[in-house]
Amino acid sequence: MGTLILMPTEHVPVLATELLDVLDPHPGETAIDCTFGGGGHSQAVAERLGSGGTLIAIDRDPAAERRFAEIEDELEPESRFMRADFADALETLGEEGVRADVVYLDLGVSSLQLDAAERGFSYSYDAPLDMRMDPGDDVSAADLVNEWPEERIATVLRDYGEERHARSIAREIVRRRPLRTTAELVDAIRAAVPPAYRFGRGHPAKRSFQALRIAVNGELDSLDRALPAAWGLLRERGRLVVISFHSLEDRRVKRFLGDRARGCVCPPEIPVCVCGREPEAEPLTRRPLAATPEEIERNPRSHSARLRGARKLPRGTDTDDERNLA
């Protein structure tokens, strides 16, 4: 019997206006939505593409596939859904010879997943300890916390959650095994951290849940593979936009786009370029764009969102925009 997945009652796409402004999709273009989720961004982009355009939607979650089926008839462009990890899907599209004008990624957990209490993504609900974006994957958060050694759990909490109390939390998790529900994990985290941290600003389990989710779904590895695959699919003057929700993602996006916006790398004491390196990208965001106070008030989940984008340059184009990336 399959896992029951409930659909949320409302989906609010983050930074939708900013995404459209930076992507600037035109009628007849081809767009790839790497993280379809509830479809809010895709619907907005599809309106710009019109009937002559093409929309390719990607998501590993079967709930997203069902959502796509619900709205497919409302989309004007020719549309296609691929249920897969976005890195795998982008590599497949490259092998098929697909070329796109705009590619965008909205990283992290979607509202569709977070609001489905039984999926175990949220520390706000008592649910099975799952966190799999694709419920068909083999390893859940329960497997990780109950089977991994203490040192490995601590490393995940520290590296993926930037959790300062990673060692004490990992020790408490191991001491309380087996943990089967999100509430049991929250209780272990609360018991492991100092009172000031337990009752301070923000939920004490936030960073640990983030870290475990990233580990369960291999999110950073997928992002590292997806960025070059997405860039390779872009036509000249195509646009890549990424919305991230924490520093681990944003640093990767910043570095990737910055590297492609960089031209000559010769030492300054050499008067004439000998490296021959040309910039591939023109930054479309001088600094990462953030949600307005009005959007944060309407949708508190947008408060940590950061948007970066770049345009793929034709060969032989000079630019010094890499100096302006922040």
How is 24-72 classified by DSSP, letter by letter?
Answer: ---TT-EEEES--TTSHHHHHHHHHH-TT-EEEEEES-HHHHHHHHHHG
Please report whether residue 62 resides in a domain: yes
Quick one: pLDDT at residue 52? Answer: 97
Please report whether residue 85 resides in a domain: yes
Quick one: pLDDT at residue 97? Answer: 97
Containing 290, the helix (H) or strand (E) segment is: strand 289-290
Quick one: pLDDT at residue 8? Answer: 41
Domain span including residue 212: 136-216
Give the count of domains, the chain: 2
Residue type, 133: M
Q: What are the start-end ranges of the H helices in 75-218?
A: 86-96, 111-114, 141-147, 150-161, 166-176, 182-192, 195-198, 206-217
The domain boundary, picked from 197, 216, 235, lies at 216
The domain boundary, picked from 199, 216, 233, lies at 216
Quick one: pLDDT at residue 3? Answer: 35
Residues 6+ apart with CB under 8 A from 83: 58, 59, 60, 61, 62, 64, 65
100 and 241 fall within a common domain: yes
Quick one: pLDDT at residue 316? Answer: 64
The domain boundary, picked from 201, 216, 231, lies at 216
Please report whether residue 9 resides in a domain: no
Residue type, 23: L
Please report whether residue 173 resides in a domain: yes
CB-based contact 312:236 (threshold 8 Å): yes
Residue 53, token pair as written in the block: 């355009």
CB-based contact 265:280 (threshold 8 Å): no
Mean pLDDT by 10 residues, the chain (326 residues): 38 91 98 97 97 98 97 96 98 98 94 89 95 96 98 98 97 98 97 87 91 97 98 98 96 97 83 83 97 95 96 74 46
Residue type, 45: V
270 and 144 fall within a common domain: no
List phi, psi (to 5°) of 208. Answer: -65, -40
Please report whether residue 169 resides in a domain: yes
Quick one: pLDDT at residue 111? Answer: 83
Query: Taking the mean position of all CA atoms in its chain, how far away is CA 240?
Result: 13
99 and 182 fall within a common domain: no
Quick one: pLDDT at residue 318? Answer: 55
Quick one: pLDDT at residue 108? Answer: 86
CATH code of the domain covering residue 90: 3.40.50.150
Quick one: pLDDT at residue 11? Answer: 62
Containing 20, the helix (H) or strand (E) segment is: helix 16-23
Residue 120, token pair as written in the block: 């175990």
173 and 264 fall within a common domain: no
CATH code of the domain covering residue 173: 1.10.150.170
244 three-state secondary structure: strand
Token pair 């060692």 is found at: 167
165 three-state secondary structure: coil
Quick one: pLDDT at residue 319? Answer: 52
